[in-house]
Amino acid sequence: MIRLFTAIAIPPEIGEGLLARQHGIEGARWRPLEAFHITLRFVGDVAEDVAADLDEALAEIAAAPFDLTLAGAGHFGEGADIHAVWAGVDESAPLRQLQKGHERAARTAGLKPESRLYTPHVTLAYLKRPSVPEVGAWLQANNLLRAPAFRVDRFGLYSSWRTHEGSTYRLEREYPLEA
């Protein structure tokens, strides 16, 4: 079994600006620069043959390169159950189309449909029973976040490995976007 997801990596020059926002919430597990990404489809634990089928289906996705902009900030969970803070992504029709292609690829590989609403974001920290006022102050301080646009010309299939310091990711395969 291998734990997988598909994503767009955040360029280091954009990620550096996100690192500067990683403070102000006690006990937050801030994510390192190399972990910054925009998930397109969480896959989860799958057998090697399913991973191979997914790889084949992902290789068939046809999409042109496009620009993305990170904007705003948010969180997942409510009250004491807030479990993550993130940087948002400006609305993008090409991103939505690419994500739908990943959903089709996952179904082609035999995976169940994703039931959660797609919210493109870059996770900046995972939280465990945070101070709600601290999270509120962080959100207020970062809600006007706006990073320079960056070009998306590829996406990747990543494996996720759990460690005692949190998950680490490894790029398994990269797929270029071509006009």
Question: Is 164 among the catalytic positions?
Answer: no
pLDDT of residue 91: 97
Predicted confidence at residue 163, as pLDDT, reads 78
Residue 167 confidence (pLDDT): 82
Collect all residues with Cβ–Cβ distance below 8 Å to 104 and sequence separation of at least 6.
Answer: 57
Mean per-residue pLDDT, 55-75:
98
Annotated catalytic residue within 23, 83, 102, 121: 121
Strands 166-176 and 70-76: what pairing? unpaired
Catalytic residue among 37, 75, 102, 164: 37
pLDDT at 164: 73
- Alpha carbons 61 and 58: distance in angstroms, whole number: 5
- Single pTM value for the model: 0.95
The answer to whether 121 is a known catalytic residue is: yes
Mean pLDDT of 44-66: 97
| Lateral strand order in the sheet of 29-30 | 29-30, 121-126, 84-89, 70-76
Give the mean pLDDT of 53-75.
98
Identity of the amino acid at 121: H
Going from the N-terminus, what domains does the chain have, and what CATH number goes with each? 2-176 (3.90.1140.10)
Under 8 Å CB-to-CB from 32, ≥6 apart: which residues? none
Q: Whole-number mean pLDDT of the chain?
A: 96
CA distance 93 to 151: 14
Can you tell me the distance from the alpha carbon of 160 to that of 166, in angstroms, rounded to the nearest whole number? 10
Relative to beta strand 154-163, strand 150-152 is unpaired
Residue 22's pLDDT is what? 97
pLDDT tens sequence across 137-152: 999 999 999 999 999 9
The model's pLDDT over 160-177, given as tens digits with 9 standing for 90+, comes to 988 776 788 999 999 999
